[in-house]
Structure 1
């Protein structure tokens, strides 16, 4: 698996373009906006965009989904159905944050714990990680040991839980039960900011470190 991080929207959200080197089939994770920029990267790498994958329903992660899906006839997979209320509220979210016209949509496939997303020969494993939003999921590619975790975890921080449906303890539980169990060596792409590894965060993240020495 290859991937390219494309920061989009005024929130600099880490949209990710992922693809199989052999087939050139690609998916875009969390197209929050700036659809022209995303499509330019698809063309630059000579890829065939096959699907849209969503970690959760917040505007900066899904704002460009309806436009991109409509333009190319792409199926939308994710998030978990508990984030449906966020997707239905996209027009109001967009108005509140001055994002222009973000249209609502209905995913072709809601995702749940244990689901698998296929992209050519690639198999992305889905883990359900509520807390930042009630329907948040993450995608893990076991061969390359890379996870796309949306706003669950960041380098040195964790997702906010003060939005509707957020739950701090649930988020901590998701990180420890669903992320740490994938292995310390796993590199992850967060929703914002630089990449890190689960091992690094277990050792140093002030919100979820193991506190082995304290």
Structure 2
């Protein structure tokens, strides 16, 4: 049987850490409280263990994954900006974030405060968890949209659709999700396809 923590990791998000360091800043602690409340609001069922449905997933059948993701993006944006302000991290120049193969959040390319931005995520596990959760949701939404387009085109021309969307079936496609913060603090998310071919 998969443990509760392992179940939550299937969604790309770890369980909220209930034992936080006493040295958290005001913005960091407020963010932790928001995440705890999000998790507490989630329905509990046997499939997800005692912790319930991961907070990155819709809380009810009336909430779509797109709506949940938009809500999480708003929380992430507001909390990240507040923590950045406390740490004197500027959004000018702009920067882009992505998740590395080790699961940590990294700044893509060079940035004068690259080390400080990456340290901010290392010091705030829940912020890093939320980044991964939002990234996972974006990859899921993108995959769903591509499957819907394939179904529509398949109904018109089967051969052309299979050729166009072959990567959906051969495991050569992976998603790379990144977040960009511009110099004015505006945040945008993007999904790119990465193809991996093995001999």
TM-score, reference length from structure 1: 0.29
Name the structure with the higher helix share.
2
Which of structures 1 and 2 has the bigger CA Rg?
2
Q: Which has the higher contact order (CA 8 A, sep 6+)?
A: 2
TM-score, reference length from structure 2: 0.30
Name the structure with the higher strand share.
1
